[in-house]
């Protein structure tokens, strides 16, 4: 292996998913993404990277993410939620957007800000407040090229089926 190969390879054990949010007030919503990643043993990092309050850092985060070995970015924000879209504009990585519900408008403002991206700059948007699905989607994206992770996802899906069947049995009596 040449020196170039070493320097271009992904650091072993480093974070594969970056979880970012516009404010620490988003963390109570966003921590469900971290918990999902922990369930699957996926290393992640989490930080506040505000599109409006720290735009230069936000752009640097997006531009550096792939080179640092991240495979997916999960970005959550509320209100005029530009963070996921702006990150998607400057990174080739898949970006999963989490609309964080705030006090007014029930999160519809966040949802529409994140989901209505122009053609060419996709953000995979989950339901309002559903950061758990963002974590699970990040696992699926990584699992597309990771057989071990795919196996874990299949086992998780089977556990969901088992749980649903048990609920059916409880209803049937
Ligand atoms: C957004 O403004 C953040 O993502 C957060 O949802 C919202 C409120 O932020 P704080 O005023 O709580 O810091 O940019």
What is the ipTM, given to two decimal places? 0.97
Mean pLDDT, residues 62-82 taken together: 98
Q: Identify the residues whose C-beta falls under 6 Å from ligand 1.
A: 21-23, 25-26, 50, 52, 77-79, 100, 102
What is the 67 CA–ligand 1 centroid distance (Å)? 28
> How confident is the prediction for the chain on average, in pLDDT?
94
Q: What 3-state DSSP class applies to 137?
A: helix
Residue 1 has pLDDT above 50, yes or no: no
Q: What CA–CA distance (Å, rounded) separates 79 from 85?
A: 13
Q: Which long-range contacts (CB under 8 A, 24 or more apart) does 5-10 make?
A: 10/69
Mean pLDDT, residues 159-169 taken together: 94
Cross-strand partners of 166: none
77 phi/psi in degrees, rounded to 5: -160, 160
Above pLDDT 90, what percent of the chain?
A: 89
Domains and CATH numbers, the chain: 3-146 (3.40.50.1970)
Mutate to test the pocket of ligand 1, among 55, 79, 107 (most ligand atoms within 8 A of CB): 79
Write down how long the chain is: 173
Angle made by CA atoms 56, 61, 63, in degrees to the nearest 5: 95
Q: What 3-state DSSP class applies to 14?
A: coil
Residue 3 has pLDDT above 80, yes or no: no
Residue 173 has pLDDT above 60, yes or no: yes
Closest residue CA from atom 6 of ligand 1: 78
> Mind listing the pLDDT tens digit for each residue in 90-132?
999 999 999 999 999 999 999 999 999 999 999 999 999 999 9
What is the 116 CA–ligand 1 centroid distance (Å)? 19
Q: Which atom of ligand 1 is nearest to the CA of 53?
A: 14
Q: Which parts are annotated binding residues for substrate?
A: 23, 26, 53
What is the 114 CA–ligand 1 centroid distance (Å)? 14
pTM, 2 dp: 0.92
């Amino acid at each position: 292996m040449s020196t170039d190969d070493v320097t271009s390879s992904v650091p072993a054990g480093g974070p594969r998913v970056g979880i970012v949010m516009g404010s620490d007030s988003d963390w109570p919503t966003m921590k469900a993404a971290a918990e999902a990643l922990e369930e699957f043993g996926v290393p992640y990092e989490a930080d506040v990277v505000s599109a409006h309050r720290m735009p230069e850092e936000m752009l640097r985060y997006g531009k550096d993410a792939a080179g640092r070995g991240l495979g997916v970015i999960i970005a959550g924000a509320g209100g005029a939620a530009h963070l996921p879209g702006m990150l998607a504009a400057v990174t080739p990585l898949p970006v999963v957007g989490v609309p964080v519900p705030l006090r007014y408008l029930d999160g519809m403002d966040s949802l529409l800000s994140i989901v209505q991206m122009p053609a060419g700059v996709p953000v995979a948007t989950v339901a309002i407040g559903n950061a758990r699905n963002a974590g699970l989607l990040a696992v699926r994206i990584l699992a597309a090229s990771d057989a071990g992770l795919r196996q874990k996802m299949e086992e998780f899906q089977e556990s969901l089926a088992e749980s649903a069947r048990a609920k059916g049995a409880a209803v049937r009596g």
